[in-house]
Structure 1
Amino acid sequence: MVLSMFSGLSSFTCYPLLVSGCSALLVTSLQEKPPSLSSFQAPEAASETQSFLQQPAGKPAGPLDLSQLGEHELVVREEKRVSISWSRDASPAPLMRTSGTTSSASNKKSASPESKLTSSSDSSASVALEISQGARKKSSTPLKSSQSDGSQVTVIERETAPTKAQLHKLAMSESEPRQKTEIPKELQDAVKIINNSLLKKLGSKPISSVSLKTAKTTIQDHWFRNSSTGTSNAHEVEDYLDYFESLSVPLLEYCVNLVDKNGNTAMHYAVSHGNFDVVSILLDSKVCNVNQMNNAGYTCVMLVSLAKLKQPAHRTVVERLFQMADVNIRAKKHCQTALMLAVSHGNSDMVAMLLAAGADINIQDEDGSTALMCAAEHGRVDIVKHLLSHPDCDSLVQDVDGSTAFKIAWQAGHRDVGLLLYVHEQMLRSKLPNRGDSARSSLRQNRQPSH
């Protein structure tokens, strides 16, 4: 009957313990110990099991003959278990892996007892190493393992993480200062002449026009060579600006907005080369004239509308430029805006950024064309969709020939674009039935004569 009561205790394995005529069962508690080398070695027969059955004197102890047990007799064995507690994180403990291949594993089966013992020691060391490294093995932070004899839990502690105050102190610590760019002596002399002329200092000697022209040429040569190439270093440009500002703010403004024989400034060259680090430095000067046109009648905003942005940081710089500039200025030639140029070159990213910066979507050039007409003529479906989604987009505007964007797209053979424009036109006509043909008068009001 006792046997049937404890038939569900599958965690116990029966070993020789004879209980005769008893209604109670003595179960010894299980002792948990941390892993050791002996845990991976073959246990000795004497230490593995403690037998409570008294053997007859003079007769060697052997396996118990279970056929001699009575009907109400129970055999119980005491076992020792090994438990490892994972306390670093909630991830599973690492699996025990061996570095050998399948063939090497088969060779170990025929190895000598000495080699088996060495292998057991190596596996024990590898297990301890995996435990010290952690399950994820991503952190190189040294770990501390604290374990006491007879303890049931192995505690693995990480080094104390730095506090916020320590991190803040580290971030605010002064780094090694950058070596400043040396300003050439020739440039220093020329800059002082221009600075005296700008400030018109009392008591200073009159400056001849020849001296001023020579000084200006010297400054142009050094300044454009430093700031206006595709490989210009932003730190060197910043050092030059710091030197100019140390003398006077008017001198800084004069040098930043210097033009070459084609009317281009350092900003024109920086956006043309896509050197947005230099663009950012020039914007930081607070004196850069971002609306200045070159001899061809283009501003830096018009030139940057053709650029391709390769990094998120460049996008931030261009957004700053658009906020500081007038994005609706029309070029001297053909009266095109930066939005029209971006559309005609298929630069959809710049189109979105210009519209977000407040670009007028319905401005017309000298032929009466709008940005929508440019997109329709070139069959740029994505840009047409983006323009039509703008709440101020007017697809009923006509050019000097009386054509709308729909008619232009249809004549150019872009049927898919024409269908989109036709639907938009019909929607506008239903909302504005009395609008009439005001496109030509609107063109006369908004049109700017070319120079």
Structure 2
Amino acid sequence: MPITPSTGGELAGWVDGSNMDGWTPLMAGKNGVNISTQSTKGGMNNALQLASIAGHLEIVRVLIKNGAAINVTDEDGDTALSSAAEYGRTDVVAFLIEKGADRDVVSDRGWTPLLRASSNGHTEVVRALLEAGVTVNKQLPDGSGALQLAAGRGHLTVVELLLDSGALMNLVDSAGDSPLIVAARHGQTDAVKFLLEKGAAIDLGAGRVVSR
């Protein structure tokens, strides 16, 4: 179960708090405790994932140094990198990539770190992932790609980064909607203008011709 923004206030308590023996994740890492064990509070999250979500880079460093499994997944197939990307933890993302985290890991629902970061408008995370060579045109089960997700939410800088890195401007989802159509539907004027300037096809969308 992924941690949602509504539970974000509890993260610091989970990462900085202690277990029944008085161990915090940082102490556990330094003392060789099994730090890849899943938590039973709020879902199947582990110490590395919780520290990554909260952006505690030093704890992440200690956990990795002491053997935390970098690609361990929670019950939804999310890894520490997936979660750090979702929450915009750029330093943690960069460190996990450096240490060999799977950059294109796919969750049980089809989300990659790039898709999560693009959807949430985390520009610097997107930049770090692209520089690391992630797959740009990976799509969700419904066919949505990073460009659709970013354009639909008006994340213009992310849209530009994706296009500069080879994102397909006219890639359509399972409904036949291109990034331009998604941006138009959600009222993202700047994204629409930008995509048109870059040459997006106006008459591509929903499997039918859209009036010019």
Aligned pair in 2 of structure 1 residues 184, 239: CA closer, same or farther (>3 Å)?
Answer: closer
Tell me how large the CA RMSD over aligned residues is: 2.4
Q: 2:177 aligns with which of 369, 372, 376?
A: 369
**Does the 8 Å contact 1:375/1:384 carry over to 2?**
yes
Deviation at 1:307, TM superposition (A): 2.9
Look up the SS of the partner of 1:270 in the other structure: helix
**Aligned equivalent of 2:203:** 396
**Aligned equivalent of 1:158:** none
What is the identity percentage for the equivalent residue pairs of Structure 1 and Structure 2?
24
Given the alignment of the two structures, is residue 329 of structure 1 paired with residue 153 of structure 2, yes or no? no
- Determine the C-alpha separation between the residues in 1 that align with 2:182 and 2:48: 38
Could you state the TM-score of these two structures normalised by the residue count of structure 2? 0.74
Aligned pair in 2 of structure 1 residues 281, 256: CA closer, same or farther (>3 Å)?
Answer: same
Listed one character per residue, the Cα deviations across residues 46-70 of structure 1 (whole Å, up to 9, x for unaligned) are xxxxxxxxxxxxxxxxxxxxxxxxx
**Does the 8 Å contact 1:291/1:299 carry over to 2?**
yes
Look up the SS of the partner of 1:256 in the other structure: coil
Deviation at 1:224, TM superposition (A): 2.8
Q: 2:162 aligns with which of 354, 373, 390?
A: 354
**Does the 8 Å contact 1:319/1:357 carry over to 2?**
no
Deviation at 1:341, TM superposition (A): 0.7
- Determine the C-alpha separation between the residues in 1 that align with 2:144 and 2:185: 15
Deviation at 1:372, TM superposition (A): 1.1
- Determine the C-alpha separation between the residues in 2 that align with 1:256 and 1:344: 32
Q: 2:48 aligns with which of 215, 223, 244?
A: 223
**Where do residues 402-421 of structure 1 align in structure 2 (5 Å cutoff)?**
402-404=208-210, 407=211
**Does the 8 Å contact 1:344/1:378 carry over to 2?**
yes
Could you state the TM-score of these two structures normalised by the residue count of structure 1? 0.37
**Aligned equivalent of 2:88:** 274
Deviation at 1:260, TM superposition (A): 0.5
**Does the 8 Å contact 1:270/1:278 carry over to 2?**
yes
Relative contact order, CA 8 A, sep 6+: which one is greater?
A: 2
Listed one character per residue, the Cα deviations across residues 15-49 of structure 1 (whole Å, up to 9, x for unaligned) are xxxxxxxxxxxxxxxxxxxxxxxxxxxxxxxxxxx
**Aligned equivalent of 1:161:** none
**Does the 8 Å contact 2:30/2:66 carry over to 1?**
no
Deviation at 1:331, TM superposition (A): 0.3
**Aligned equivalent of 2:118:** 305
The amino acid across from 1:256 in the alignment is: I
Listed one character per residue, the Cα deviations across residues 89-119 of structure 1 (whole Å, up to 9, x for unaligned) are xxxxxxxxxxxxxxxxxxxxxxxxxxxxxxx
Identify unmatched segments of 5+ residues in structure 2.
1-25, 40-44
Given the alignment of the two structures, is residue 320 of structure 1 paired with residue 131 of structure 2, yes or no? no
**Aligned equivalent of 1:387:** 195
Deviation at 1:398, TM superposition (A): 4.5
The amino acid across from 2:119 in the alignment is: L
**Where do residues 180-259 of structure 1 align in structure 2 (5 Å cutoff)?**
182=27, 183-185=29-31, 187=33, 190=34, 217=38, 221-225=46-50, 227-230=51-54, 232-244=55-67, 255-259=69-73
- Determine the C-alpha separation between the residues in 2 that align with 1:266 and 1:352: 26
The amino acid across from 2:128 in the alignment is: R
**Aligned equivalent of 2:108:** 295
Listed one character per residue, the Cα deviations across residues 216-263 of structure 1 (whole Å, up to 9, x for unaligned) are 548x633334x3332x3212212222333xxxxxxx7xx111100111
**Aligned equivalent of 2:3:** none
**Does the 8 Å contact 2:118/2:150 carry over to 1?**
yes
Aligned pair in 2 of structure 1 residues 372, 217: CA closer, same or farther (>3 Å)?
Answer: closer
**Does the 8 Å contact 2:46/2:74 carry over to 1?**
no
Look up the SS of the partner of 2:175 in the other structure: coil
Q: 2:74 aligns with which of 248, 260, 263?
A: 260
**Does the 8 Å contact 2:121/2:150 carry over to 1?**
no
Q: 1:342 aligns with which of 147, 150, 154?
A: 150
